[in-house]
Each structure stands twice: as C-alpha cells, then as structure tokens.
A = this chain, B = another copy of it.
Amino acid sequence: MKEPSSLESLIQALRCLPGVGPKSAQRMAYHLLQRDQQGASRLADAMRNAVERIRHCAMCNTFTEEDLCNVCVSQRRDRALLCVVETPADLLMMEQTQTYRGLYFVLMGRLSPLDGVGPRDIHLDRLQRRASDGVVQEVILATNFTVEGEATAHYISEMVNDLGLKVTRIARGLPVGGELEHVDSGTLAQALIERRSV
C-alpha cells in the first residue's frame, strides 16, 4: 500500500514551509483532503496568485503589486529620512508603531559571510544610489540587534558616512514596561551605557 502519487507530492511540497517536517506535512495533507478541500483550493489559488503578482518596490525593495509600494508613492512621508530594515515584516512592524513618517529601504536579508551573503546580495549598491539622491539627509539603521544585524548596520554606517549623510541607529534599552529584575544583563548594560539626560 503506497499513498496515491498526488497525495505524496502534496506531502513533499508542504515541506517547503518553514518548520514543517515529514510528520506534520502528512498531517496537514490529510487534514486538507479530509476536512477542508475548499480551504486547500483557496490556498493553492492564493499561493499561485501571490507568487505571480508580488514583486519588489523599485524604490524601497519591499513587497508590492505595483512598481512602487504605497509608502514610497505617498505624498505625506518625509523624504529626507530613510530607514533601513532587514525584511518586509520588519517594515510592517515599524509602520505599526505609527511614529515614523519617513521612507524605507528593505535589504531582504543581512550580511552573513558564512552563508555567502555579501553586500550585493542585500542590495547595498542600490541602497547607496538611493541614499545619494540629494533628498535623503538621514539614514536610520533598524536592522536587528543580532550579530549579523549589527555587522550589517556597521557596514552600512561606514558606507553612508562616506556619502556625507547623517547615520543613526535605533536605540537599545529596556522594553516598555520592562523591569530591571527580569531583563538580561547585556540589555541592562547597554541601557546604562546609552543613558540620556532628562
């Protein structure tokens, strides 16, 4: 007894999802076919649709269905500010804060020499051209505070400094509502070093 080949292909294909191994791929496939064929149809269409329609904004590199994303076309954004983030999901997080009114540049990754990800792979040549448009005055580095995110921020800061632009890094420190007792010592040490006058 083998599984029908189309079922086997589905199980195999589901494994491209992050965090899905052979057992959960099987469970997902059986679930869809047994209980939610409509959902499976919808999902197949949505996936095909997204792959065909989604491209990268010509200006900021985030996901969009148009030439330019709706942040880049907006007339209400401050074009002197350019915030660099690693992924479209990070951009979305920034937008959810509702405190940033500038534009973005999405790297679609981070420098990672060990994985063979170099400056060109995260579009730093494009970022350089973008930042030298004569309008941008400050580049805000909002990559993650991981080893790779920090290295990326460092690399970009040198590049942007050479262009004669202001470069800033988002602050490290205690989270809002955070208690000293429960924060890790690295974060607390940074919060102390980067203390500001009140």
A28 interface hit (Cβ, 8 Å): yes
Closest chain B residue to A19, Cβ basis: B24
Question: Quick one: given A4-B53, A4-B54, are A47 and B19 in contact (CB under 8 Å)?
Answer: no
Which residues of A92-122 are within 8 A (CB) of B?
92, 95, 108
A132 interface hit (Cβ, 8 Å): no
Closest chain B residue to A27, Cβ basis: B18
Complex Cα–Cα for A46 and B44 (A)? 8
- Interface flags for A31-65 (1: CB within 8 Å of B; 0: not) read 11110110111111111111101100000000111
A192 interface hit (Cβ, 8 Å): no
- The smallest C-beta distance from A156 to any residue of chain B, in angstroms, reads 19
Query: Is the CB–CB distance between A47 and B92 below 8 Å?
Result: no
Closest chain B residue to A89, Cβ basis: B30
Query: Is the CB–CB distance between A50 and B29 below 8 Å?
Result: yes
Closest chain B residue to A52, Cβ basis: B6
Question: Quick one: given A40-B51, A50-B40, are A70 and B2 in contact (CB under 8 Å)?
Answer: yes
A174 interface hit (Cβ, 8 Å): no
Complex Cα–Cα for A26 and B44 (A)? 16
- Interface flags for A2-35 (1: CB within 8 Å of B; 0: not) read 1111110110111011110000101111111110
Binding site for B on A (CB under 8 A): 1-7, 9-10, 12-14, 16-19, 24, 26-34, 36-37, 39-51, 53-54, 63-65, 69-71, 87-89, 91-92, 95, 108
